[in-house]
Amino acid sequence: MLRDPAKTAAGVPPPLSIRNMTVAYDRRAAVDDVSLTIRNGRLVAVVGPNGAGKSSLIRGVLGLVSASGTAEAFGRPVDAVRDRIAYVPQRAAVDWDFPASALDVVTMGLYRRAGWFRPITRSHKDRARAALAEVGMADFAARPIGALSGGQQQRVFFARALVQDADLLFLDEPFAGVDAVTEQIVFSKLKALRDDGKTIIVVHHDLDTVTDHFDDAVLLNKRLVASGPVDDVLTPDNLAIAYGGRLAKALAAVR
Amino acid sequence: MPHELLAALFFQGGYNTAVVIIGAAALGAAGGAVGVFAMLRGRALVADAISHATLPGVALGFMAAYFLGYSGRSLFVLLGGAALSAAAAVFSINAIRRHTRLKEDAAVASVLGVFFGLGIALLSIVQGLPTAGQAGLDAFLLGSTAGIRLIDAAALAAAAVLTLLSLALVFKELRVAAFDPVYAQAHGLRPERADAILLVLVLIAVVLGLRTVGLVLAVALLVIAPAAARFWSDRLGIIVLVAAGLGASGAWLGASLSAAFSNLPAGATIVLVLFVLFVLSFIAGAARGVVPRYLRRMNGAVAP
């Protein structure tokens, strides 16, 4: 009998397995027939040129845009395991004038656990405060979210994902336009989570830092170019396929 | 006249008037509180379409009651019709949005115009019926505190209080759907359900306010008090309470004025009082008002 390729050697289903995923906007494909499997307990960078469909792939997996193909997390449809998945969207997507404090935003990560029609309790708020403290934002709990700097806002959204205590985390461009302190705090938390056995998938725009921080990489240019350990993926040949010849040579030289 | 206003304000203008005014205050509170979420979710225009789309239902409700032999004066037959045609308008808006590439505001404005036009046409037919004169259908256009039966006013007030309680139950679901719908969907919080609940609450608030405020100005009840409340706080819970309080005071004052000066239409009076409250909030609102902000800057505090 053929072994299911989605199963790892131990027979445990992988944290994420994507089969033939295509995402199209107005009949133009942003993600074209991508299949891949993410290994457990890895810090994974999704990289590729602008317009390569990195964010669209994540949104397709999470069912935020209509997509064909399937995505399974821990061997089950994503919709059935949303309580084990956390998502940090791109920062620009919300209404910054909304009347919400940093603590309010983090507490939203516990709404699902609290359940419909049920109020947020003191212990929920305590957990949210603890998550804010973990990202160095304890003193900003009462601040309106719109009054924080870009990096501080990003840390608040990251804390909202932390408080969910998820096993699989998606972060969409978390380091775009943030300060060095935020970048350092988020990376060290991501590594700690990875060491705890969580799987983290990060849409990342900065090829230079992939080798330093990530275990695995997914290289995308609408189609999948390569996926696996960083050093196997970011080869000059693969980069040439993803980015086109000349740019790839320049990138390889930098590395 | 001043003593008549004072009498109305302090519920001395007769038992009936007192109940109607208390009922109006309850509606104002419900409209203000629901309106905060409608405003934050960008649904103000949809609320306007809902209120205008009640007119065909009011007219059809009256016709149905007339031909079935009722007097056509039963308020709840008319409000039932209003709710049904408003719901039909919401479905039309959603269908247009799903099946065409029209922008939402175009879909909403088209549906508003068509339903209101249909309502005006039906109203002209109704006006030809023998009992139409006493039905007080004009009150549904511009609002009136006159001629509301005691039991109806009490029922409206009770329904408004129930609306406020339901809002409290779904507070956090509405909050996350309005603030970050993409995250809510990814986290499995079903923001589309929260949106549907919000539309139902908006529809209920509008329909309950129809007789007192009138359908042309019903949306003002849902928008002005929340917009004014935004000047007072950066905390959602407090904004909702302030909006409910401002809505209640505006409706109470406006309905009292309308009861005391019998040719003032209630809807217009309530909206004008709410506007005065808005201007006061704009000037003095603790969080974003002009004067407190100026004072903070003078004291060298960092603007939040």
- Rounded Cα distance between A199 and B221, Å, is 49
Supply the pLDDT for residue A205.
Answer: 84
Q: Evaluate whether B304 touches A147 at the Cβ level (below 8 Å).
A: yes
Using the 8-state DSSP alphabet, how is residue A169 labeled? Answer: E
Q: Do B187 and A111 touch (CB under 8 A)?
A: yes
Q: Which residues of B touch A120 (CB under 8 A)?
A: 172
Q: Do B186 and A62 touch (CB under 8 A)?
A: yes
Q: Do A87 and B169 touch (CB under 8 A)?
A: no
- Whichever domain contains A89, its CATH number is 3.40.50.300
Q: Evaluate whether B177 touches B43 at the Cβ level (below 8 Å).
A: no
Q: How far is CA B101 from CA A152, A191, B98, in A?
A: 38, 44, 8
pLDDT digits (tens, 9 = 90+) for B66-111: 888 776 567 888 899 999 999 999 999 999 988 888 888 999 999 9
- The token pair at A134 is 């973990």
A138 domain residue, yes or no: no
Q: Do B234 and A89 touch (CB under 8 A)?
A: no
Q: Which residues of A touch B186 (CB under 8 A)?
A: 62-64, 82, 85, 87, 89, 170
Residue A148, phi-psi category: left (phi > 0), alpha (psi -120 to 50), beta (remainder): beta
- Rounded Cα distance between A216 and A221, Å, is 17
Using the 8-state DSSP alphabet, how is residue B37 labeled? Answer: H
Antiparallel, parallel or unpaired: β A16-25 and A216-221: unpaired
Confidence of residue B129 (pLDDT cuts 50, 70, 90): confident
Q: Evaluate whether B1 touches B260 at the Cβ level (below 8 Å).
A: yes
CATH number for region B2-298: 1.10.3470.10
Q: Of the given ranges (A238-242, B12-16, B58-62, B150-154), which has the lowest mean pLDDT?
A: B12-16
Q: Which of B41, B101, B172 should we substitute to test contact with A (largest number of A Cβ atoms within 10 Å)?
A: B172
Q: How many domains does chain A have?
A: 1
Q: Which residues of A touch B167 (CB under 8 A)?
A: none
Supply the pLDDT for residue A103.
Answer: 97
- The token pair at A20 is 């033939």
> Strand, coil or helix: what is B124?
helix
**E-only strand ranges, A43-103:** 43-47, 67-73, 76-77, 85-88
**Does the beta carbon of B230 lie under 8 angstroms from any beta carbon of chain A?**
yes
Q: Do B179 and A98 touch (CB under 8 A)?
A: yes
- The token pair at A83 is 């309580």
**Binding-face residues of B in 165-194 toward A, CB within 8 A:** 169-173, 175-176, 178-180, 182-189
Closest CB from A116, A144, A164 relative to B173: A116
Q: Evaluate whether B86 touches B50 at the Cβ level (below 8 Å).
A: yes
pTM, 2 dp? 0.89
Q: What is the ipTM of this complex?
A: 0.89
Supply the pLDDT for residue A110.
Answer: 96
Antiparallel, parallel or unpaired: β A43-47 and A199-203: parallel
Supply the pLDDT for residue A1.
Answer: 40
Closest CB from A104, A112, A117 relative to B170: A117
Which spans in B100-170 are helix H? 104-126, 132-135, 138-142, 150-169
Supply the pLDDT for residue A98.
Answer: 94
Chain A: residue nearest B39 by CA? A98
Q: Which residue range forms the structural domain that includes residue A39?
A: 16-93+166-254
Q: Give percent above pLDDT 90 in chain A.
A: 75
Q: Within 10 A of A230 (CB to CB), how many other CB atoms are there? A: 19
- The token pair at B49 is 């379409």
- Rounded Cα distance between B51 and B17, Å, is 25
Supply the pLDDT for residue B17.
Answer: 80
For range B220-243, the mean pLDDT: 95
Closest CB from A82, A93, A111 relative to B172: A111
Chain B: residue nearest A144 by CA? B234
Chain B: residue nearest A117 by CA? B169
Q: Which residues of B touch A139 (CB under 8 A)?
A: none
Closest CB from A89, A116, A144 relative to B183: A89
A111 domain residue, yes or no: no
Q: Evaluate whether A129 touches A123 at the Cβ level (below 8 Å).
A: no
Rg, C-alpha atoms of chain B = 20
Those residues with Cβ within 8 angstroms of residue A104's Cβ, 6 or more apart along the chain or in another chain: A145, B175, B236
Q: Is a pLDDT exceeding 90 seen at residue A69?
A: yes
> Strand, coil or helix: what is A37?
strand
Confidence of residue A249 (pLDDT cuts 50, 70, 90): low
φ, ψ (nearest 5 deg) of residue A43: -100, 110
Q: Which residues of A touch B172 (CB under 8 A)?
A: 108, 111, 114, 119-120
Q: What would the 3-class secondary structure string for B161-172 be? A: HHHHHHHHHCHH
A207 domain residue, yes or no: yes
pLDDT digits (tens, 9 = 90+) for A173-230: 999 889 999 999 999 999 999 999 999 999 998 888 899 999 999 999 999 999 999 9
pLDDT digits (tens, 9 = 90+) for B109-118: 999 999 999 9
Q: Do A99 and B187 touch (CB under 8 A)?
A: no
Using the 8-state DSSP alphabet, how is residue A119 labeled? Answer: P
Q: Do A101 and B234 touch (CB under 8 A)?
A: yes
Q: Is a pLDDT exceeding 80 seen at residue B4?
A: no
Confidence of residue B59 (pLDDT cuts 50, 70, 90): very high
A198 domain residue, yes or no: yes
- The token pair at B77 is 């037959």
Pick the closest to residue B205 from B154, B153, B167 (CA basis): B167
Supply the pLDDT for residue A149.
Answer: 92
φ, ψ (nearest 5 deg) of residue A85: -120, 135
- Rounded Cα distance between A238 and A223, Å, is 12
